[in-house]
A and B are shown apart, each in its own frame.
Chain A
Amino acid sequence: MSDIFSFNGSPNAGWSQPKPILSDSEVMATIPSSMLRDSPPAWPRASEPELVRHYTWLSKRNFGIDTGFYPLGSCTMKHNPRVNERIVNLPGIDRMHPLQPEHQIQGILSIFYEMQEMLAICSGMDQVTLQPVAGAQGEFTAMRCIQEYHRERGEGHRNKVIVPDSAHGTNPASASMCGYDIIEIPSGVDGRIDLDALQSVLGNDTAAMMITNPSTLGVFEPDIAKASEMVHSAGGQMYYDGANFNAIIGKTDPGLMGFDAVHYNLHKTFSQPHGGGGPGSGPIGVKEHLSRYLPSPLASRRERTKDDPIGVGDGYWYSWITPEMTIGKVQQWHGNAGAVIRCWAFYRRYGRELERMSEHAVLNANYLRFKIMNPDDEILEKIHAMPSDGAPTDFVMHEFTLSMIDMKDKVGVTGKDIAKRLLDYGVMAPTLYFPMIVPECLMIEPTETESKEVLDKFAKDFLNVLTEDPEIIKGAPYTTDVSRVDEVWAARNLIVRHPGHGIEEN
């Protein structure tokens, strides 16, 4: 294997840079000798040719959407249009400082403003901030706004946040970071909200309910308006987790469902590349009554007067404004501006046709589900046990869940075994064991950017796995760069940095 710390070449072979503008003795005199570093960090000594090869080698040991089908449920792994990467290399974003004066940043402000407006329109909200840099930070930010809203109304005693047991883990974690107590309510047998369970936990201590719709089971919650009404009657606020927003744009929106606040995962719905786990971007939208608490600043505009400079030439002058009762900052600058600009470029590609995007995401999910759940008789005969739907429903939205419990019961093959075996077929595995309410769960989200042929092939391969010798499945994967990885050993031994130059090869 290529080990970066095995590069230990000549100190002169490394990347070159200009000399300091003062002499060495002048520089060293600027820092008290007691504060000087004894020896430089033990970083590799490598030349550009060596590093290009090292990182190319690493990249070949990594699976992305570009490599193959990536049906990772809840993560919306759609294609990332390449012009977006080209755009963020323009100096008008890459070489910009967030504290530059407004007249130097009119272009960025106009894009921020357009994105705030677009996201508000798509979600039925009144005001949007782009500052949160991840979905979880969006949740946290919105819960902080809700917290201040209650406090200002003299209802700071409301300390309970309700989440369904099918919620993303970030929901309870974010609310908990705000200081809220979490009440988890069980879903009904069909995976939908249990309104009786909801009613039983509502009270004058209810601060909010956090829910995603469609749910993590990929099912649209038909009682959502009723749930909103119940929470509002108790004096609580409704929070929409936008992780599954890709399913509904143009068809419905959180505003129509009765929500007060929503976060968007721009890295899911609007294709900011996830890059191994981030960056993301998690703007939030709120109804009017919460907008005065939003983080500062927000992009704003007014009609240009004759005294203003030309700006971007659209007749407006853009500026920052501070919400009246702002909670302040959640990220130190203006959020992940580079992600916002990529997502602006993505949205421009669809414009008013964003609805088509959601339609195709839902079409692909239903098609794939149908193909998996309706195998030919010939295959069906050979399958050890068919998966069952995580939630019984005629149609799903953008994703669906399968329980592999019958495979486990019948031949001892777990959901994880199947996930690992799928890697041998050249695809990424679905999301595993989430939501937790579905036993041996695989969660599959194809997204709108996969062709029918890819879906057909995945369904065929998936069903084929279910016919294989259970021992083969349990030993998978076989064709990957390493075979099944021992996670338990890693957690017990915690070797989280290179122990020295050149770890021993096994």
Chain B
Amino acid sequence: MDQLPNLGREQEMLSVMGLNSIEQLFSNIPEDVRRKTPLPLPEPQSEEEIWRDAQHLLGSNIHLDSRPSFLSAGLSRNFVPTMVGMLATRGEFLTSYTPYQAEVSQGMLQAMWEFQTMISELVNLPITNVSMYDASTSAAEAITCAVRVHNKKATQKDTIYLSELVPPHRMSVIRNYIQGSGIDIKILNHDKNGHLNIDAASIAKGSCAVYVEQPNCFGILDEGLLQLKEQIGENTALIVGVDAVSLGLVSPPGNWGADIVVGEGQPFGIGPTFGGPIYGIFACTEKYIRQMPGRIVGLTHDTNENKAFTLTLSTREQHIRRHRATSNICSNETLIALMGAMHMALLGPEGITVLAKRVAASTEAAKKALSSVKGVELVYPESSVFRDFVIRIPGDSEKAISFIDSKGVIGGLPLSLWWESHSSCILVGCDERTSESDISLLVSAIKEWVKEVEN
């Protein structure tokens, strides 16, 4: 209740208007839709009480930094530079709205234009928007965007091809987003190494789009994807979902024919934060710019010929084009993208390379250590991996994860949560902060589990 500057001054303000009761202002609400009883909610609290309750409730959670953790599955247990939170939450940034009035919003506009540039450099594509909600809605809207661009010339009309290793939560988002456009989803299979069957992928030629992930949800880096664009041809969009950090080491999809690149921006800028707010990356070639979703900042000048920035191409958007808009997106994740920009700028070209190497090193070290445990096997031993990899363990993976949990280690994701057929598999996730001691604690816990199952 301490948020109302005019509390206690109601009569003073009402009398200016010739009124004597606030209720008069609500007289246009008919009796039959009036609420008759007070809201059955608790007493108002002071800031101090709210802080106490927040500390108690959130303090009862077990957080990733309190123990060794190998749970990633699309989010990163990153370290965000201290500067990022401090600068991004300056009130001028934090409490601004979409920069409709460019003259008083140059700061955020420029920061987003810089963000666009840094993402474009990272993925090697010329156009980037100022963020989508997350990697999954980015992927979904990339698909509908590609269908709008390619459907006219497509020989397989209203058809797109998805890798079978799109994780189920993302597949679900995609299905929700595209079902209204009558788009038919066809599946591209992977081989026993987890690689896309590249020769069979030419079946997608003439469709509107192909969506694959590099690395895929099992962490596998697939060399064959470098040939995918040749297989599907110019008139089918190649959409690639990326692990943004991997691009510090791995060839950006723009180099191997990707038309649209999407992915999770979260590793740059914000903690895993229980899955949100995070931000989706969306970058594309010029061909898609007029059909792409989301906001975009352009360089221009003011009436005195000073350099200036503004939102541009808004004729694609819902507030202008209404039901013919390219997307319904209005609120996006700009503030989180700002945090991402700050983080990327601090890393710089050398920093992103080191960061990617740290993740690759942790992944390799963990993989090596676990593969030497008797009873544990790598499901894709021949494949290169980044951040995540899959192990098969004796017994049920959910029970194994609970057991490992009881030893004080968050062991990864039991893959039965994604696919029932993978009930003995665990997705082990590493990151730049994974230490050798974390790995040895995981190894000991899994050894104990193996012993437990054998007995």
B2 adjacent to chain A (CB < 8 Å): yes
Asked if A465 lies at the interface with its beta carbon under 8 angstroms from chain B, I say no
Contact B73 A275 (CB under 8 A): no
Alpha-carbon separation in the docked complex, A173 to B331 (Å): 14
Output the nearest chain A residue to B35 by Cβ-Cβ distance: A252
- Given A51-B345, A312-B56, A393-B28: A491 and B331 interface contact (C-beta under 8 Å): no
Interface residue from B44, B62, B92 paired with A353 (Cβ < 8 Å): B44
Contact B331 A278 (CB under 8 A): yes
Contact B295 A277 (CB under 8 A): yes
Cβ-based interface call for A460 (8 A): no
Question: B110 — which chain A residues lie within 8 A by C-beta?
Answer: 58, 61
Interface size class of A (residues with CB under 8 A): 35 or more
B234 at the interface (CB under 8 A from A): no
Inter-chain contacts of A175 with B (CB < 8 A): 323
Q: Which residues of B contact A30 (CB under 8 A)?
A: 360, 363-364, 384-386
B155-163, B178-186, B197-205, B447-455: which lies at the interface: B178-186
Residues of B within 8 A of A354 (CB): 39, 41
6 A-B pairs (CB sep. < 8 Å) = A98-B274, A168-B319, A360-B7, A423-B101, A496-B299, A496-B312
Q: A27-B364, A134-B329, A332-B170 are in contact. Are A37 and B101 (CB under 8 A)?
A: no
Q: Does B232 contact A (CB under 8 A)?
A: no
> Could you say which residues of chain A place their CB within 8 Å of the CB of B315?
491
Q: Are B114 and A101 in contact (CB under 8 A)?
A: no
Asked if A483 and B103 sit within 8 Å, CB to CB, the answer is yes
* A56, CB-defined interface residue at 8 Å: yes
Across the interface, do A336 and B277 meet the contact criterion of CB distance under 8 Å? yes
B64:A487 contact, CB within 8 angstroms:
no
B230 within 8 A of A: no
Which chain A positions have C-beta within 8 A of B113?
496-498
Cβ-defined contact, B300 with A487, below 8 A: yes
Q: Tell me the chain A residues, 36-64 only, with Cβ under 8 Å from chain B.
A: 36-38, 40-46, 48, 51-52, 54-64
Chain A residues contacting B358 (CB-CB under 8 Å) are 17-21
Smallest Cβ distance from A463 to chain B, in angstroms?
15
- Contact status B3-A349, CB under 8 Å: yes
Pair A121/B40 contact, Cβ less than 8 Å: yes
**Partner of B301 from A103, A329, A489 at Cβ < 8 Å:** A489
Q: A43 contacts B92, CB within 8 Å?
A: no
A137 at the interface (CB under 8 A from B): yes
The answer, yes or no, to whether B305 is at the interface (CB within 8 Å) is: yes
B-side contacts of A495, CB under 8 Å? 298-300
- Chain A: minimal CB distance from B163 (Å): 16
| Residues of B close to A428: CB separation below 8 A | 97, 101, 104
A450 in the interface, Cβ–Cβ < 8 Å? yes
| A363–B6 CA distance with the chains assembled, in angstroms | 9
| Contact between chains at B97 and A276 (CB < 8 Å) | yes
Please encode chain B, from 374 to 403, with 1 for each CB lying within 8 Å of some chain A CB and 0 for all others. Answer: 000000000011100000000000000110
Q: Which of A65, A66, A491 contacts B312 (CB 8 A)?
A: A491
Complex: A278 Cα to B108 Cα, angstroms: 12
Flag whether A382 is at the interface (Cβ < 8 A): no
Which chain A positions have C-beta within 8 A of B13?
363, 367, 452
A240 within 8 A of B: no
A46 to chain B: which residues have CB within 8 Å? 345-346, 348
Complexed CA–CA distance, A96 and B62 (Å): 8
Which of B45, B62, B177 is A177 in contact with, Cβ under 8 Å?
B177
A120 to B73, CA, bound (A): 32
Instruction: Report yes or no: B103 in contact with A484, Cβ–Cβ below 8 A.
Output: yes
Contact B247 A366 (CB under 8 A): no
Q: Are A331 and B134 in contact (CB under 8 A)?
A: yes
Given the known inter-chain contacts A48-B346, A62-B106, A280-B331, please indicate yes or no for A496 contacting B92, CB distance below 8 A.
no
- Judge whether A189 is part of the interface by a CB distance below 8 angstroms: no
A355 contacts B by Cβ under 8 Å? yes
For window 169-198 of B, CB contacts with A under 8 Å fall at 169-170, 172-173, 175-177, 179-182
Contact status of A70 and B58, CB under 8 A, knowing A276-B338, A486-B302: no
| A169 contacts partner chain B, Cβ-Cβ < 8 Å | yes
B251 CB–A CB distance under 8 Å:
yes
Given contacts A331-B134, A332-B74, A351-B41, contact A42 B349 (CB under 8 A): yes
Q: Complex: how many Å from CA A191 to CA B185? A: 44
Is A236 at the interface (CB under 8 A from chain B)? no
* A140 part of interface (Cβ distance < 8 Å): yes
In the bound assembly, the distance between CA atoms of A27 and B92 in angstroms comes to 42
What 1/0 flags go to B10-50 for Cβ under 8 Å of A?
10111011000010111111101111001111111101011
Partner of A134, one of B312, B332, B413: B332
